[in-house]
Structures are given as structure tokens and as C-alpha cells.
Structure 1
Amino acid sequence: MWSKRAAGVASSAALALALLTGCGGGDDDAVTAEQGFKVPDLPAATAVGAPEGQVNIVNWAGYVEDGSTDPKVDWVTEFEKTTGCTVNSKVAGTSDEMVTLMKTGEYDLVSASGDASLRLIAGGDVAPVNTGLIPNYADVYPALKNQRHNSVNGVSYGVPHGRGANLLMWRTDKVSPAPDSWGAVFDANSPYKGNITAYDSPIYIADAALYLMATEPDLGIKNPYALDQDQFDAAVTLLKAQNGLIGEYWSDYTKELQAFSSGDSVLGTTWQVIANLAQADGAKVDVTLPKEGATGWSDTWMISSRAENPNCAYKWMDWIISPKANAAVSEWFGEAPSNAKACAETADPKHCATFHADDEDYFKQIWYWTTPIAQCLDGRTDIECVDYSEWTRAWTAIKG
């Protein structure tokens, strides 16, 4: 569905940002040094200088559109004309690929999801962001700022792009009664065995943990991304059992759309945009936020600690969260915008209502993807939690 913008413009301008130590406001949800999370001592910009002429971006498909996918979908061309910064885009298929690409030092920016951002911060691959240099940051929903996935010690490491939930979708002509719990995809006796789908990523272990948090309170899970060994083993056991029910794991949402449209999949985790597209194609599907809540994403634009084009990078971060551009990208991709003023700019006046843009009660039920680390993010200090490298190894074993 998406096409990527060609990259390859030669590197040119020298670094033009003066630097100092990172700045940013504090928040109770932020990761702190007291939790044992250590980060390299990297500076943040103090000023934005003359544009270097280009910016190199690693992004999710649909986040950097210049009209080549659809002539009507273009928020890059105006940016280039306004700033003089040519945009070179590299689409990444997974968070792991984003981390790998950012480690090369060849890219200035990344649209990182929460299962990548703390890895990038801890690895010194991204720098703190001086949000005072980004005027449109003032209009970002407060609930998206300085969260566990994009800040450490009260220091911001990026600007929020948008957010969404991982929902439960089913074929209304094949699944009855309508499910209201994630138990529907974990039921060992499910009549839909072989037609259930799940998201293909180690971070999906958190979905199992979230279900266990609600259904097996004796495990003591307080945060689906903060699992000690016993809690982690319980989630892995549940997912290994679920594997026998799965017809197909998905990461490319166009493939999930096809599977639900054809009936190969009738029940499983999804995104609101997939449901919208499936319904538009005539598929009999519906979605719900299950009673246990859900995992979800809040993507963050982060700047490389080795950015060769930091001035253009800062200009892009301000542009992509401006009301007009943020409305366009959130509507095209299918998510809630991060800028509160974007809702007045969407072509569909119901877009923000559909995606619960300003419904904080809705998003309080969402656990945004956050990189699991050894220091338990639920506040425990007397035990280590299982870090993301172990989640990755376990996921390979779960899928068999």
C-alpha cells in the first residue's frame, strides 16, 4: 500500500547546532535513575541554525508521504519548499529494524515506537530533545509528554507523533457471541482454532501479560512490560498454548486486512485503521477495546546523537506535529494525532472521535509499548525483570 521515498542525497552541511546538557520537564511516569536506568551523558540543542539542505529519516510506512503513493497525500513537498530541507526517507518494517538502522549513524531522525525508544536512549543512539526549540510542542496533548517510553529523569528524548490501541477484531458473520475479552484469543477450546491471528513481535508478550494481570491476580503483575521471571514464564506458557490456535501471525497490516476480508482470519488483535479499511471493503468485522484494557503505541520522533543534519531534523519535528501536517498523517495512517489543534484540520470531521484523540479515559486503559528492561518499570527494586533481549529469544521459541 505504501511506497518509500528514494534516499541517497549526498551528505553535505556541517553540524550547526550549539549544544548543552539535556533539558525538559519532569513527570511521575518518566523512567528515573532511581530505577537504575542509566543513559549516556549527551547534550541537547540550544538553537536551530541554518538548514543543511536535507534530512535523512527512518520511519514507519505512511509517516513520510510526498505524493508518490497518492498524489493527494503529501505533507513533505510543502516542508521541503518552506525549509529548503530535502527529505530522504527509509521505511522500516519493524522496531528492531529501526534500532539497527539508527545504530549506523546514517540517519538523522526516527519515528520510534515504545518498544524501540528506550533501547535507542540507553544505547546512546538518540539525543535529548530541547522541546523549547519546537513551537508546536506546546499544543501536544499533555498526557503524551514525558512518558516512560520517551523520557528519562525528566528529560525529553523526542516529540510525540500519534497514538493508537491494539484492539480485538472479529468477523461478525462467523464469530458469535461478540467477544469482550482477550480470553477469546487464548481459549484453548476455541472453535476458531486455525483462524485466530496475533501480532508478530516479541512485544506481543505484553498482551499475554496484560490478560494475566486481569485474570490471574496471584501472579502480581502490575505492568505488562515489567515481568519478573515467574511472571514472564507464565506469559510465555500462555502464548505457547495459543500458538496452536494461530492461523497466521501478522506484522504487515495490509496482509491482516486481506486475511479478514477473505475469512482466513476471523478473530484476533488489530488496529482501528485495519477495521476501517476492512469495513470499507465490505468485510463484516467489528472491533472492541476488551474489558482487560489493551496494549498500544505512542510513536515518538527522536533525533540521532550523531545527526549530520540536526537543523533540518528539528524543523521536521516541528513540522510533523504542526496542526495541518499532524492531521494529514494521522488521518492517512489511522491513529489519533498528538497535536490537539490537528482535529480541526482533518478532512473527516469525525476522525478524532473515531480514534479517541482527546478521550483520556479511553487511553488510560492503554499500556503503550515500552521497552522491557532489567530494572523493573513497576517500581520494584528487590528483583530484576526480564529484559527485551530475553523477550526476543522467547518469541522465537513461542512461534516454534
Structure 2
Amino acid sequence: MKKHIGPGRRLLALVSALAIAAPSVAASAELNILTWEGYADPSFISKFEESSGCKTTSTYVGSNDDFAPKLAAGGGVYDIIVPSIDTIGLMRQAGFVEPIDTAKIEGWSDVYPEFSGANDVSAEGSVWSVPLVWGSISLMYRADKIDPKPDSIGVLFDEKYKGKIAMWDDKSSLYWTARLLGYENIYDLTDEQLEAVKQKLIAQKPLIRKYWATAGELTELYANQEVWVSNTWTGLQSKDVNALKKGFEVVEFTPKEKAEGWMDSMQLVKGSANSECAYKFFSFMLSAEGQCGIVGSTGYFPVNPKSVSGCLTGADAEAKKVNNIEFVKSLVMWQMPARLDKYLEVWNAVKAAP
């Protein structure tokens, strides 16, 4: 069957209509941020508030699929959003965000050019987002329960671990399954390929303990010994689980089918009443305090290698891929699917299946 190429046209039409009905313009005096767990930790955000005089309130998402509905229905709440590289283009196309004036951002020139010049970060002659942090999505397992040592995505589909498997509640589950099935065009799957992915995931459902939504939820599933193996946000959840010292350790690994790569960046919501504070926030998050702070709270990788020269050295710098942009090339970097609406339809059909 011939593919129908298009950047999620029906979804874009829907969110654009909602955006007109409910423009996301936040009230002044407080910077409201729609972001991820660990990205607004008090250990470094308090320093921003003290130095800038701008107060912040953060709301957390569990998936990139949360941004459009929350912005459309938010009643004008948010100033800054922090979607991943496969979602920033949708935010622009839907009219939720406005162009960024990089001349107002300290540290912009020190960001890896592979990120500052990436597709959708820069588009239509303007810059639309400010890179913040990056990393990969790997697999994680309990070393005392999973045997032999896994090396493939297939461990998430192994009947031997029925009831002890968790998968992220996100359309990227389609990407994982497509790679397991040997498809290389994971962001532009045909109808037949998507159907095969859907059936594989539906067959997996009896093995799944939980589709997890947040870092904290997955950490609890491991802590309560409900889950032995899952995909994971590399560096964050393994650190949190092992810190609990529950008598076991979890181990991360990159499957032979490769790991996914991502980059999260900050976008300015269209019509924000707090753009002055927003630009101060952008600059802070690219500074030493911001980059060292977010790397410390999440375990992810910095986008500004110059800023972390004081807090990441030697083995720590090597582990966080400082000045090792080549690592990006080893990952399957996220992209917005050519038929985003179709991918969401398939993922929702998987979740709705008995």
C-alpha cells in the first residue's frame, strides 16, 4: 500500500483550532513552565529565582504527547514549554510558540551546533527553541532477576518475564517495536508495517505490568518489586532506583538494535506576558549553574560543554558525553513521524485493546 506522507495534518488542524479557542498566554509576575521531572529541581531553580527576581511554577508532563492538549486546554497558563526534538516542530506548526531572539541569550554560541542548528530548532528562517539537555532511551533490568544478561529489545517481549515488564506510555513504543521487527524507516512506516507493529504490541500486552507515565512511577514499580525490566530515561531512573538501596540493583544497557536519542529544548509560548523572565531563564539554563544543575538532578547530558567544564571533569565528563557529539550518531535520534496522527491512532489502539 502506498504511504501517505504528511506531517500529522489532522492532528495539526485539531490542535490549531484548539489553540485559537484557548491561547496559552500566562499571567504576568510568575514564570510558568511545562516541563519534565528533574528539570526544575529546587537545587538550581532557586538560584535562578534569587538572581533574576523571577518566580517559577513548574508543571510536569509524562510524554511529549501531553504538550499539545495541555497548551490547547490550559486557559493561558504557560510561558515556557520543554518538548523533545520530535515535538518542537509540531508546536511551531500548531501556532503555540513564537520565534526566539538568540541575541538575548547568553551562552547561545556555545551550544553544540548539531543541536542549535538542528531541523525544527531552526526553521522558516527563525530559531524556535533553545536546546537544554540531551540523552538516550535505553533498557533497564534487575540484575538478580533477568538471566541471561539481555542484549536485545526482545527482552521486553519475553514470556518468561510475564507480569514483570513495563513500557513507557508514549508513542515511542512504536519505534522500539519497529526496530525489533527490523524496520529501519521507523518514523515513516507504511500502513502494513504499522499494522505489524500494532499486532506485536497487542500480543505483548498480557506480559506488561504497567505502561509507566513518569520517572517517579517507574522508580516505584521497581522499588515495590513489581517490575524487573523496562525501557528507561537513561541515567535518571536507574540512579533513583539504586539510591533507594532495596537490596537489589538495576542495570542499564543499549540493545543491539540501538538506543533512541533525544534532545529537549525550551520554547517560548506565543504571547507570553513574561518574555523578559523567559529570556533570563534561557540564559540561566545554558550557564554553568543551569547546565551543571540539570545534569546533576537528572543524569542527562549537557548541550553547552563550555558551561560544565568546572563541574564535569575526567570520568564524569566522559560519562556525560562532554565534547563527544559523535555519540549522537550512534543513536536513532527522534524525529516527528511523517504521519504523526496515524502513529498516535495506532498507539491509542494498542492501549485500548483488551
Do they superpose with TM above 0.5?
yes
Secondary structure at the counterpart of residue 358 of structure 1? coil
Letter in 2 for 1:390: K
Instruction: Mark the CA change 1:140 to 1:184 in structure 2 (over 3 Å): closer, same or farther.
Output: same
Check the 8 A contact 1:331/1:346 in 2, yes or no: no
Instruction: Mark the CA change 1:184 to 1:361 in structure 2 (over 3 Å): closer, same or farther.
Output: farther
> Do residues 252 (structure 1) and 214 (structure 2) align?
yes
> Do residues 206 (structure 1) and 158 (structure 2) align?
no
Give the total of aligned pairs.
327
The equivalent residue for 1:228 is 190
CA RMSD of aligned residues (A): 2.7
Letter in 1 for 2:270: S
Check the 8 A contact 2:194/2:346 in 1, yes or no: no
Letter in 2 for 1:229: D
> Do residues 364 (structure 1) and 329 (structure 2) align?
yes
Deviations 1:179-216 (A, max 9, x none): 111122234xx31122111111123212212333xx35
Q: Compute the displacement of 1:126 (Å).
A: 0.7
Secondary structure at the counterpart of residue 98 of structure 2? coil
The equivalent residue for 1:394 is 346
Q: 1:56 aligns with which of 27, 32, 44?
A: 32
Check the 8 A contact 1:128/1:156 in 2, yes or no: yes
Q: 1:355 aligns with which of 320, 331, 336?
A: 320
Check the 8 A contact 1:163/1:298 in 2, yes or no: yes
Q: Compute the displacement of 1:347 (Å).
A: 7.4
Instruction: Mark the CA change 1:53 to 1:345 in structure 2 (over 3 Å): closer, same or farther.
Output: farther
Instruction: Mark the CA change 1:277 to 1:87 in structure 2 (over 3 Å): closer, same or farther.
Output: closer
Deviations 1:87-126 (A, max 9, x none): 2333334333322333344322111123432221110111
CA separation in 1, counterparts of 2:173 and 2:119? 18
Instruction: Mark the CA change 1:315 to 1:252 in structure 2 (over 3 Å): closer, same or farther.
Output: same
Q: 2:251 aligns with which of 282, 286, 291?
A: 286
Q: TM-score, normalised by structure 2?
A: 0.83
The equivalent residue for 1:89 is 58
Q: Compute the displacement of 1:143 (Å).
A: 2.2
Letter in 1 for 2:168: Y
The answer to which of 338-347 and 239-248 deviates more is 338-347
Q: TM-score, normalised by structure 1?
A: 0.74
Secondary structure at the counterpart of residue 189 of structure 2? coil
CA separation in 1, counterparts of 2:304 and 2:178? 31
Check the 8 A contact 1:118/1:370 in 2, yes or no: no
Map 1:275-314 onto structure 2 (within 5 A).
Answer: 275-282=238-245, 283-314=248-279
CA separation in 2, counterparts of 1:348 and 1:149? 32
Q: 1:237 aligns with which of 199, 203, 217?
A: 199
CA separation in 1, counterparts of 2:334 and 2:143? 29
Check the 8 A contact 2:107/2:283 in 1, yes or no: yes
Letter in 2 for 1:281: L
CA separation in 2, counterparts of 1:371 and 1:139? 26
Identity between Structure 1 and Structure 2 (%): 27
The equivalent residue for 1:196 is 165
Check the 8 A contact 2:37/2:215 in 1, yes or no: no
Identify which of structures 1 and 2 has the higher relative contact order when contacts are C-alpha pairs closer than 8 Å and 6+ apart.
Answer: 2
The equivalent residue for 1:119 is 90
| Structure 2, unaligned runs of 5 or more | 1-5, 17-27
The equivalent residue for 2:290 is 325
The equivalent residue for 1:109 is 80
Instruction: Mark the CA change 1:87 to 1:280 in structure 2 (over 3 Å): closer, same or farther.
Output: closer
- Counting helix residues as a fraction of each chain, which structure ranks higher? 2
Q: Compute the displacement of 1:396 (Å).
A: 2.3
The equivalent residue for 2:149 is 178
